[in-house]
Amino acid sequence: MPHFYFHTENGDCIRDDQGEDLPDVEAAREEAVTVLGEILRYRGAAFWETASFSVIVTDADGRTVVSVTARASDAAPEGWTLQETGE
Amino acid sequence: MTTVSPPSRITTLVEKLSLRDQVAPDEIEALKDVLDPPREIRSGADIVKEHSHPLHSTLLISGFSARYSSLADGARQITELNVPGDFIDLHSLLMKQMDHGVVALTDCVVASAPHAKLIRLTERHPHLTRLLWLDTIIDAAIHRQWLVAMGRRSGLGHLAHLVCELYLRLQAVGQASGKADGMRFNLPLTQATLGDALGLSTVHVSRLVTELRGEGVVSWSGGQVEILNWHRLAEIAEFDATYLRLQNEPV
């Protein structure tokens, strides 16, 4: 089974030196988004201080496999507008 | 690895029950009589299978085991960690079919108590029966606290709560050193196992352990935990030990 490392970045990078054996990249994706959700769950409004949180997954050779990022902002994401509800 | 001879069959159970109420000599004899000779279970093996109909309940004499339920995708949730002196499925006496499994998390020594003998015990020893009943009630109280932690505590609070609980439960059965000698205990569980107990990913558990260490609250390495600052740990956990019912009050 391939070995994946899950580093996190929110201004400070926390390296994962332990890593985890997972069957494939799909499983690494699942784990990455789970980690993101778990850690963000109790950040509360303090998340706006760093405003960005990423989980970056690397393989045994240190190459990035996938990453996932959540952002906080006072503005809407670029290009987003509230759609008219019709009639 | 040094082999520590496991405590005699019922020492830990009697120690635990004695914290809550006096256990009479004839009750200790009755507990001895109900148990089959000890047997070893290898780490990773099921002690009680999910959905089985056990004809005996099992006492954990040494090692760690866990009550768990499995999900279709292969995930597992641990619903209670068991320590020496725990009847891991006393409720199977009345529940009959297991709604969960029990797995050995380390090499374990266990002893079976045939249900027929337990039934006779309940008929002859009403006070001892209440003490054993209390033990299953405390299991339910532990489940309630885990549910609260799972649903509402922060990750760090949840881990801290588990460490407080395990320390007190292990100390109650002489498996953790007291305040005077440093509050230490063995916890030879992987972070993946802790993740299954906390409902958190291994990665998150590993970060939480680092965070607790970083706060100078615990030292934690090689399966050995030492609580450096109980007061602070209990504060992080919002720990209230009422549910463990460790005080002596007659039942």
Could A35 and B191 be called an inter-chain contact, meaning their C-beta atoms sit closer than 8 Å? no
- Domain co-membership, B105 together with B215: no
Same domain (yes/no): B21, B139: yes
Q: Tell me if residue B15 falls in helix, strand or coil.
A: helix
Distance in Å, alpha carbon of B207 to nearest chain A alpha carbon: 9
pLDDT at residue B182, as a whole number: 86
Question: What value of ipTM does the predicted structure carry?
Answer: 0.86
Pairwise CB contact (< 8 Å): A35 & B204: yes
Cα separation, B7 vs B85, in Å, equals 10
Q: Are residues B160 and B125 in the same domain?
A: no
Give residue-wise pLDDT tens across range A69-85. 999 999 999 999 998 88
In a domain, B3, yes or no: no
- Residue B1 included in any domain: no
pLDDT of amino acid B7: 52
| CA separation for the pair B240, B251 (Å, rounded) | 22
Q: How confident is the model at residue A42 (pLDDT cuts 50, 70, 90)?
A: confident
Which DSSP letter does residue A24 get?
S
Interface check for B202 against chain A (CB to CB < 8 A): the answer is yes
Mean pLDDT, rounded, for A41-70: 94
What residue in A sits closest to B154 (Cα-Cα)? A42
Of the candidates A14, A18, A35, which has its C-beta nearest B201's C-beta? A35
Percent of chain A with pLDDT over 70: 98
pLDDT tens digit sequence for B137-182: 999 999 999 999 999 999 999 999 999 999 999 999 999 998 777 8
Residue B172 maps to which CATH number? 1.10.10.10
Please report the pLDDT score of residue A87 as a whole number: 63
Question: Of the candidates A34, A35, A42, which has its C-beta nearest B154's C-beta?
Answer: A42
Chain B residues lying within 8 Å of A42, measured CB to CB: 154-155
Question: For chain B, what is the domain count?
Answer: 2
Question: What residues of chain B lie within 8 A of the CB of A34, using their CB?
Answer: 201
Residue where a domain terminates, one of B113, B147, B181: B147
Domain boundary assignment for chain A: 1-69
Domain that holds residue B104: 11-147
CB contact (8 A) between residue B201 and residue A16: no
Query: Do the beta carbons of residue B83 and residue B64 sit within 8 Å?
Result: yes
Residue B223 lies in a domain: yes
* B 153-172 near A (Cβ less than 8 A): 154-155
- Does the beta carbon of B75 lie under 8 angstroms from any beta carbon of chain A? no
Q: Does one domain contain both B110 and B128?
A: yes
pLDDT for B74: 86
CB < 8 Å to B206, chain A: 16, 18
In a domain, B5, yes or no: no
| Residue B197 within any structural domain of the chain | yes
Which residues of chain B carry a pLDDT beneath 50? Answer: 1-6
Task: Measure the CA–CA gap between A19 and A41, rounded to whole angstroms.
Answer: 22
Same domain, B38 and B72: yes
Q: What is the pLDDT, as a whole number, of residue B1?
A: 41
Say yes or no: B59 and B111 in one domain.
yes
Strands B101-104 and B108-114: unpaired
Task: Examine the fold and report which residue of B89, B124, B147 is the final residue of a domain before the chain moves on.
Answer: B147
Q: Using an 8 Å CB-CB cutoff, list chain B residues near A8.
A: 207
Residue B25 maps to which CATH number?
A: 2.60.120.10
| The residue to which tokens 């079919």 are assigned | B97
- Residues in chain A within 8 Å Cβ distance of B74: none
Q: Does B43 touch chain A (CB under 8 A)?
A: no
d(CA A6, nearest CA chain B) in Å: 7
For the sheet containing B101-104, what is the strand order? Answer: B46-48, B101-104, B65-70, B76-82
Using alpha carbons, select from A69, A53, A67, A70 the residue that is nearest to residue A25: A67
To the nearest 5 percent, what fractions of chain B are helix, strand and coil?
45, 20, 35
- Domain boundary pick from B124, B147, B170: B147
B111 and B216: one domain?
A: no
Task: Show residues of chain A in contact with B201, CB under 8 Å.
Answer: 31, 34-35, 38
B6 lies in a domain? no
